Chains A and B, each alone.
Chain A
Amino acid sequence: MWTFIHKWGSPKWFYAMSARVQPWCWAAALILIALGTVWGLAFAPADYQQGDSFRIIYVHVPAAFLAQSVFVSMAAASLVFMVWKIKVADMAATVMAPFGAVMTFVALFSGAVWGVPTWGTWWMWDARLTSMLILLFLFLGVIALRGAFTSRDGGSKAASVLAMVGVINIPIIKYSVDWWFTLHQSSTFSVTSRPAMPTEMWLPLLIMVLGFYCFFIALTLMRTRSEILRREINKRWVMDLAKEAR
């Protein structure tokens, strides 16, 4: 088991193995997102109060899930990099940050679009919305910090520290709706109880969430591969690879 994990820490091994996994992830992402979109937008029943505007949930909830999951993955990769000095982990953390920022923005934007007809306002400084905005700034901060150093090693370390400390924001986002009075409703889904939503509504949502996760994995693998090539450009195996391709 440990040797298996250790092998993935080698850029060369990662590059070779991810090439095999990647197409499956892309295929799964494409199928799940296409299925979830059509099902959610066209076939799922409308809500008794919100009508069709509730359908924004099929983008909003997966994006918000992903935004938080990406941050946790990025922090975990940063921890692996800081403790075990595994470079592939740092490369993965590098490529995750922009994707996470985009997902956070999508969650905030779709929420604002939904908020206008539902709440009567597009923004409110409540705990959920504010902590999510902080998450966006954390992502942008990690990206900026990494770029602000002349040495790549310095940038990686600084970005890793910010990512690890920023993880404290994740439980705050998750529990903000329970700890404080917020305009945002509390969670429809929990691990322990049945969702406050009928099956024909949450099944397409589950498919969308899984599709977004597959998309995240596929994109991270793809971008980590290009990051490996960029950083290992002077290594023997990359040169051999380039020769073969020619």
Chain B
Amino acid sequence: MTPRRRQKLLIILGALALAGVAVGLTLYALRSNINLFFSPVQIAQGDAPIERTIRAGGMVKEGSVARDPQSLNVEFRITDYVDELAVAYNGILPDLFREGQGVVVVGKLAADGQFMADKVLARHDENYMPPEVAQALEEAGYSPADYQAKAAEVGERLRSQDK
């Protein structure tokens, strides 16, 4: 490599590294805005604004879904395995909504800590399996949600971050 080309290569790589650091710092500074939703931990700590449209996300807690038989009202709790958030919603839930499944809820946080959702989105995880496998897991005493216990790890990570 001629000295000129070497110099050119170094200049380009140096400029790229600088640009990378600049973008990295910007994203780091904006991280709370880039996060799509607040987790129950952050809401419990009072990080989320009250009476403003926000998004919250977590797993639907097992056994927490209570449907009103007369209407479309439904109440459930979402959890990140550290804290929980009570959610009230009136409307049709997405097909993938179920206990132990991730969701993102859009709505307003009331002063008493209840979340009034206008919209519920199902959040799919990275695990795929055929129905027979899911059934076999269940028969063996694991629910597919246990198998996907990675969520618990995320909760752990959040807890250590906030300390």
Contact = CB atoms under 8 A, between A and B. Distances in A.
Decide whether A and B are members of one complex: yes
Contact of A48 (B20, B104, B123, B134): B134
Interface residues of A, number: 40
Given A83-B9, A120-B122, A47 B128 contact: yes
Contacts, number: 115
Nearest to A124: B36
B36 A196 contact: no
Contact of B104 (A127, A183, A200, A201): A183
Interface of A: 45-50, 54, 57, 79, 82-84, 117-121, 124-127, 164-165, 167-168, 172, 179-183, 185-188, 196-198, 200-201
Contacts of B37: 181
Interface string B121-140: 11111111111111100000
Interface string B104-129: 10000000000000011111111111
B19 interface: yes
Contact of A196 (B9, B20, B128): B128
Q: Which of B9, B15, B34, B144 has the most CB of A within 10 A?
A: B34
B57 interface: yes
B16 interface: yes
B35 interface: yes
Interface in B76-121: 94-96, 101, 104, 119-121
A180 B34 contact: yes
A180 B128 contact: no
Given A119-B94, A168-B16, A201-B128, A183 B8 contact: no
Main SS of the interface on chain B?
Answer: mixed
A54 B132 CA distance: 16
Contacts of A200: 130
A187 B19 CA distance: 26
B72 interface: no
B44 interface: no
25 contacts: A48-B133, A49-B124, A50-B96, A57-B128, A79-B12, A82-B8, A83-B5, A83-B8, A119-B121, A119-B122, A120-B119, A120-B122, A124-B104, A124-B121, A127-B36, A168-B19, A168-B20, A180-B35, A181-B57, A183-B123, A185-B123, A188-B126, A197-B128, A197-B129, A198-B133
Contacts of B12: 79, 82-83, 164
B55 to A, nearest CB: 9
B19 A185 contact: no
